[in-house]
Amino acid sequence: MKYTPTIGLEIHTELKTRTKMFCNSKNDPEEKIPNHNVCPVCMGHPGTLPVINKEAVKHVLKMGLALNGTIADYTEFDRKNYFYPDLAKFYPDLAKGYQISQYKYPLISGGVLNGVLLTRIHLEEDTARSTHDTESDSLVDFNRAGIPLMELVTEPVVKSAKEASAFARELQLLLRYLKAGDANMEKGEMRVEANISVSASGERGTKVEVKNLNSFRVVERAIEYEIKRQSALLERGEKVVQETRGWDENKQETFSQRIKEESHDYRYMPDPDLPKIKISDFRDFEKTALQKEIPELPWEKRSRFTGLGMKEQDVEVFVQDEEARKILEEYIIPAFAKDQKALLSAVNYLTSDVPGIIEKNGGSLGYLKENFIELISMIRESIISSRGAKEILVELLAQGGDPRHIAENKGVLQKSNEEDLIAVVEEVIAEHSGVVEDYKGGKESTLQFLVGQGMRKSKGAANPEVLKSLIIKYVGK
């Protein structure tokens, strides 16, 4: 029987702010010393009072605007009560016994990203980090406790593992564009939870939540596994249990953690220590003011770059890679706005040749500025060949410099004077007499081979068109 999956996503992302969500402890995800960035507030000491981080609220409001969500005028924070063991380990990562979150009145309602409808976006505080290095002891690091955490919840409209992964990738990209968060999944700055059900009737099946998926690859594999697992249960006439499951990377399978809680299990209540917020009371939160801070968004850049005639795969390179995008927007587009061929040539070198050179020889895109534009112009003006350009690029990426000086030092300035190339042509003809005879016999493809040999002998310095003309001329004698 064919079972149809229904998937909803809950994605938590740590936000970039100077301090934590409700206190003035430093928000530093790179801190290595355990329990260093802590204070009585984020450690849950009795009698402490939290204060709302305005910048964190602003990040979420800008996210809502970018996604065409509805900004709430009234919002409040709630206490979400839970304190449970996972994997037979006790997690004391909520020292207060509750998490400050939002429930009834989220900051953002609705919206859409990558074709997926959103339910809500709200703010909460992150929990401490627990480690279990020994059988008898658990260690708790409160550096992460209290870091602003944005939670985005989608409608249950995702239909495949690949669609879920694509959505998470686009969200990560948007967070980086808005400078709201780095969202590095390998560092735990972005965590995906998937709610998955399957059904043969067209109605929604029993929902299973798979928590803390920490890479895009794991998101896909966990969802695919869970779809197969639930489908197999139904096929055998068994029931799917509503529960929370984790992902075992070694076994490549999900495993049961606990029976899934409902919202009433958390006993939400408005936090009496935090004020209610009326967004319209804050000048910094006005829609027009926020919109001025929103840059060109990923999908807007895709549209603009595509309009320049760029290939889809090249467009995606620039949308994803901030350093390459900076070179494109600050140098390539202004320099070649009226010369599409030159622009696309520069794009091709930047997306094809440059990555290969960096992988093989090292180097940095940071060295490519106006000198990259000059290099492309030299190619277009036949001052250097494509082979010579690659040699110059190796040095430019390693230490920068003047392309013309590098070309002179390397001896790759293109030779277009026939007298300079006669000796090269004579050597090629003498060394490849058999190929020459094939060409005379009508095998046109051999001409390109002879030109290639001339380019090799001249170390890329020969103008290929002049070389081709000379070979035709000499072979015809």
| Spatial distance between the Cα atoms of 310 and 313, rounded to a whole number of angstroms | 8
Predicted pLDDT at 89: 39
Tell me what percent of the residues of the chain surpass a pLDDT of 90.
73
pLDDT > 60? residue 83: no
Predicted pLDDT at 263: 60
Predicted pLDDT at 126: 94
Digit-coded pLDDT (tens) for 256-288: 988 766 666 778 999 999 999 999 999 999 999
- Residues 322 and 215 placed together within one structural domain of the fold: no
Backbone angles phi, psi at 249, to 5 degrees: -65, -35
Predicted pLDDT at 130: 81
Find the range with the poorest average confidence among 128-137, 302-311, 404-413.
Answer: 128-137
- Residues 303 and 270 placed together within one structural domain of the fold: no
364, 386, 410 - which closes a domain: 410
- Residues 156 and 26 placed together within one structural domain of the fold: yes
* pLDDT mean over 44-68: 97
First to last CA, the chain: 76
The token pair at 232 is 């197999």
| Spatial distance between the Cα atoms of 461 and 191, rounded to a whole number of angstroms | 53
291, 326, 341 - which closes a domain: 291
Going by pLDDT thresholds of 50, 70 and 90, the confidence category of residue 92 is: low
Going by pLDDT thresholds of 50, 70 and 90, the confidence category of residue 88 is: very low
Give the other-Cβ count within 10 Å of 416's Cβ. Answer: 15
- Residues 271 and 130 placed together within one structural domain of the fold: yes
Digit-coded pLDDT (tens) for 1-34: 689 999 999 999 999 999 999 999 999 999 999 9
Q: 204 is in which domain, residue-wise?
A: 4-291
Predicted pLDDT at 444: 84
The token pair at 223 is 């969802």
Split into its structural domains, the chain has a count of 3
Judge contact between 37 and 259, C-beta under 8 A.
Answer: no
Predicted pLDDT at 254: 97
Mean pLDDT rounded to a whole number for the chain: 91
Predicted pLDDT at 417: 73
Query: Which distant-in-sequence residues (6+ apart) come within 8 Å of 445 by Cβ?
Result: none
- Residues 184 and 35 placed together within one structural domain of the fold: yes
Tell me what percent of the residues of the chain surpass a pLDDT of 70.
96
Predicted pLDDT at 16: 97
pLDDT > 90? residue 84: no
Instruction: Using DSSP bridges, classify how beta strands 208-213 and 74-75 pair: parallel, antiparallel or unpaired.
Output: unpaired
**Who has greater pLDDT, 463 or 71?**
71
Classified as helix, coil or strand, 29 is coil
Predicted pLDDT at 90: 40
| Spatial distance between the Cα atoms of 359 and 277, rounded to a whole number of angstroms | 51
pLDDT > 50? residue 91: no
Q: At what angle are helices 161-177 and 54-66 packed, to 10 degrees?
A: 120
- Residues 53 and 197 placed together within one structural domain of the fold: yes
- Residues 131 and 266 placed together within one structural domain of the fold: yes
The token pair at 376 is 């492309």
- Residues 389 and 251 placed together within one structural domain of the fold: no
- Residues 29 and 160 placed together within one structural domain of the fold: yes
Give the other-Cβ count within 10 Å of 175's Cβ. Answer: 25
* pLDDT mean over 322-347: 96
- Residues 98 and 211 placed together within one structural domain of the fold: yes
- Residues 228 and 337 placed together within one structural domain of the fold: no
Q: Classify residue 184 as exposed, middle or buried by CB count within 10 Å of its CB (0-12, 13-18, 19+).
A: middle
- Residues 104 and 183 placed together within one structural domain of the fold: yes
Backbone angles phi, psi at 410, to 5 degrees: -90, -10
* pLDDT mean over 43-52: 94
**Who has greater pLDDT, 376 or 387?**
376
pLDDT > 80? residue 45: yes
Judge contact between 456 and 385, C-beta under 8 A.
Answer: no
Digit-coded pLDDT (tens) for 396-444: 999 999 999 999 998 888 777 777 788 888 888 888 988 888 888 888 8
Query: Which distant-in-sequence residues (6+ apart) come within 8 Å of 236 by Cβ?
Result: none
Q: What ranges make up the beta strands (E) of 35-87?
A: 70-71, 74-75, 78-81, 85-86
Q: Look at residues 239, 281, 108, 73 and name the one whose alpha carbon lies nearest to residue 180.
A: 108
Predicted pLDDT at 260: 62
Judge contact between 146 and 25, C-beta under 8 A.
Answer: yes
291, 310, 345 - which closes a domain: 291
